[in-house]
Structure 1
Amino acid sequence: MSIWWSLHLRREAASVPLARRLLVGTMETAGVDPEISYDLSVALTEACANAVEHGGRAASGGSEEYRVTAYLDGEKCRIEVADSGPGFSRTQEIRPARADAEHGRGLCLIQELADHVAIGSRPSRSGGTVVSFDRVLKWRSGAPLLAV
């Protein structure tokens, strides 16, 4: 069984819980183990918060929106969060934040909660950043949409 959805959200803090609730609801309905669901929802929250904060400004040609896409396919969940900010000149490396830093822990947290994380620039003319991560799923006993 495969499930996927995509949202185009305004770059506002109020959009982050919407994406998180949709992901949790999808995984709960499909029968994903609650611990996996929680971990992925926290990772999604961090990725969305980064898109809201760093995702570009309309005044500089960036969009006031970002996109969240989630795929539950067989035994894996893959999530992508794409914005239209400045992007990176090369593939971004995740570095630990300083112990006294007030910001900068989100990408490290995503890396701890997911099996694989990739961060890079969008190849289109509009630019922007894509944060994608995936995790192998575990299923509740008797899950209604259990992968076969």
Structure 2
Amino acid sequence: MSMWWSLHLRREAASVPLARRLLLGTMESAGVDPDISYDLSLALSEACANAVEHGGDVAHGGSSEAFRVTAYLDGEMCRIEVADSGPGFPAGRPWPLARLVPADAEHGRGLCLIRELADHVHIGHTPGRRGAVVSFDKVLKWRKDAPLLAV
């Protein structure tokens, strides 16, 4: 089984639960194990929240009104990608997940949380464009009654 969907969402807080609910509905319909679905939806929420907060292109005379979420289910793997047109991550600095965030901090733990929830995480940019791309993969587990069980 292979399927994908892509959303073009406004950079506003209400977009985060919308993307999360769509992913959870897709996973439920496909028959993905609820624990895996929950991990992926939480990681997606963190990536979307980062795009909403940091995804504007203010430094270049404007602000991006949107960001993109794409989810791919392919056999036993799910890949999710969140792309924005913000300033991206500074070149030459260590990967953002390398920095330590105090336990009582209210911000700054999203990328670390994504790393803990996913099997593989890539943070970069789209070649030829500004912005950040956060993509992460997770091996899927299926319910026994999964209608779209990968065979």
TM band (smaller chain): over 0.9
Aligned to 1:94, what secondary structure does the other structure show?
A: helix
Q: What residue number does 1:139 align with?
A: 142
- Does structure 2 conserve the Cα–Cα contact (< 8 Å) formed by 1:30 and 1:146? yes
Aligned to 1:3, what secondary structure does the other structure show?
A: strand
Question: How far off is 1:93 after superposition?
Answer: 3.6
- 1:10-36 deviation per Cα after TM superposition (whole angstroms, max 9, x unaligned): 000001111001100000000000000
Which of 119, 122, 141 in structure 2 is aligned with 1:118?
Answer: 122
In the TM superposition, 1:12-91 aligns within 5 A as: 12-57=12-57, 60-88=61-89, 89-90=91-92
Matched AA of 2:121 = V
Question: How far off is 1:57 after superposition?
Answer: 4.1
Matched AA of 1:61 = G
Q: What residue number does 2:112 align with?
A: 108
Q: What residue number does 2:95 align with?
A: 92
**Which portions of structure 1, spanning 4 or more consecutive aligned residues, are displaced by more than 4 angstroms?**
none
Question: How far off is 1:87 after superposition?
Answer: 1.1
- Does structure 2 conserve the Cα–Cα contact (< 8 Å) formed by 1:57 and 1:64? no
What CA distance in whole angstroms lies between the structure 2 residues aligned with 1:38 and 1:31?
A: 13
Structure 1 vs Structure 2: percent identity of aligned residues?
77
CA RMSD of superposed structures (Å): 1.5
Question: TM-score of the superposition, structure 1-length normalised?
Answer: 0.93
Matched AA of 1:78 = R
- Does structure 2 conserve the Cα–Cα contact (< 8 Å) formed by 1:77 and 1:136? yes
Q: What residue number does 1:129 align with?
A: 132
Question: TM-score of the superposition, structure 2-length normalised?
Answer: 0.91
